[in-house]
Structure 1
């Protein structure tokens, strides 16, 4: 029973999350042969105030 945990920054749509879990489930199924019905995907939304890269909080970064 494979379990994949994916941590992403908050703000993704439900549709994006649906696509993500479908792709991850398919990748696990194809690569290790686990039955789709046995694959669990957990998405953990992280607040931007709880994530930093190079000493800068994601909440402090300016959008591109």
Structure 2
């Protein structure tokens, strides 16, 4: 019983998110033989200000390069 849990930054259209859900279901079916009725996909949309890498949030990176002291 596959559970696919994906975190993604907020900003995609409902159509893009729906496409991702479908693609994940298809991938589980094709690659591991999962049946659709037993596959669960969870998409968690995370605000850009709450997701960071290298001590910079996505929101900060979208705003442009940092300036030094």
Q: TM-score, normalised by structure 1?
A: 0.90
Find the aligned partners of 2:27 and 2:33 in 1 and give their Cα distance.
Answer: 9
Q: TM-score, normalised by structure 2?
A: 0.84
Find the aligned partners of 1:7 and 1:57 in 2 and give their Cα distance.
Answer: 15
Q: Which runs of 5+ in 1 are unaligned?
A: none
In the alignment, does 2:67 pair up with 1:41? no
Find the aligned partners of 1:13 and 1:62 in 2 and give their Cα distance.
Answer: 18
Aligned position for 1:29:
29
Q: How many residues align?
A: 64
Q: Secondary structure at the match of 2:44?
A: strand
Aligned position for 1:3:
3
Root-mean-square deviation (Å): 1.5
Between structure 1 and structure 2, the one with the greater Rg is 2
Q: Secondary structure at the match of 1:5?
A: strand
Moved over 3 A (4+): none
